[in-house]
Amino acid sequence: MTDITSQTDAALAAIAAAASLEALEAQRLETLGKKGWVSLALKTLGGMSPQERAAAAPAIQSARASIAAALDAKKAALEAAALEEQLARETIDLTLPAPAVPKGSVHPVSQVMDELAEIFADLGFAVATGPEIEDDWHNFTALNMDETHPARAMHDTFYFPDKTADGKDVLLRTHTSPVQIRAMLEQGAPIRIIAPGRVYRSDSDATHTPMFHQVEGLVVDKDIHLGHLKWTLETFFKAFFEREDIVLRLRPSYFPFTEPSVEVDVGYATEGGRRVVGGHGDAPGHAWMELGGSGMVNARVLEFAGLDPKQWQGFAFGLGIDRIAMLKYGMNDLRAFFDGDPRWLMHYGFSPFDQPTLSAGVGARA
């Protein structure tokens, strides 16, 4: 009896003194391990008479319980201390000086997206987003292109082998227009959004890459007409190209999701082999260049998006971001945008500190 008490006291003291998880494990083996004295003492109970067992068992059981509890508590304490020590050891000194030569730069596409958001925010537009992996309802059907619509074939769509749970085709969105549908379904009307992002078409040459960037614009409100569209695009391009002599030409066109539809051309001149935006496209030495598509939102699209076309009208536009970036910053090969060549990025990239603001001029000073 006294023997067990003193042995237990000694074990508890040794456990308390254990300085490491290894030392603690040694204590566990000595007591509760297969050959530990507590385990051996428990085994002797089997050979005892019922009276002897009744007398001896409680002391052994309580020794085992107190030692097990002490081992658990000490283990938790040692592990917590080890974690603290590791956290202290792995701290990073954030006060270390930055490298003398800045590493990395902002890609022109990201820069232009920031500029777009800044200019359109000033006109009261919020930025909306949607998934790049879309279903064919949002990408086509709700945009007034049913299964048999020939415009579907023109989109050179990348399809996934799987379908959605409710049987829709899954694809990489071919334009940012599905964000129109998502935004109207989520927010209703009136609404004023732009949606910049990546789009995908199975198409590739010097002026087309399988992934490129668009910005969608959508305004739905009461009494909206084509004049609002033209003013909005003109105001945007003047701010974006930072010149007042921007002349737009709206050329009749066709998109299933707008009616009427117009393509947006901008006048430009060629100076020193470079296209410079500005001036009337029919003026001497000038020409027109297409920047995107637009039009009044088709009544059927409003219906698909849950809005009553008798009550609401809107305009929408889609512009190629890569193209307006090339025009503004003077690059001539679209493919370089996606090569990830650090030399190109150092040359055309922008400082992360050069945030576009309207007051300082949205253009980056390279």
- Residue pair 257/144 in contact by the 8 Å Cβ criterion: yes
Q: Does 111 bind ligand PHE (CB under 6 A)?
A: no
Convert residues 249-278 into a mask of x (bound to ligand PHE by CB under 6 A) and - (unbound): ------x--x--------------------
Using CB under 6 A, which of 197, 267, 278, 293 touches ligand PHE? 293
Q: Does 233 bind ligand PHE (CB under 6 A)?
A: no
Q: Which stretch binds ligand PHE (CB under 6 A): 88-96, 110-118, 289-297, 357-365?
A: 289-297
Listed residue (241, 244, 264, 242) closest to 252, CA to CA: 264
Is the Cα torsion angle 16, 18, 22, 26 positive or negative in sign? negative
Convert residues 154-193 into a mask of x (bound to ligand PHE by CB under 6 A) and - (unbound): ---------------------x-x----------------
Q: How many residues bind ligand PHE (CB under 6 A)?
A: 10
In this complex, which beta carbon is closest to ligand PHE, that of residue 31 or of residue 177?
Answer: 177
Least Cβ distance, residue 200 to ligand PHE (angstroms): 11
Q: Does 128 bind ligand PHE (CB under 6 A)?
A: no
Least Cβ distance, residue 333 to ligand PHE (angstroms): 22
| Segment 294 to 353, residues that bind ligand PHE, using CB under 6 A | 294-295, 316-318
Distance CA 311, CA 309 (A): 5
In this complex, which beta carbon is closest to ligand PHE, that of residue 24 or of residue 184?
Answer: 184
Contact residues for ligand PHE (CB under 6 A)? 175, 177, 255, 258, 293-295, 316-318
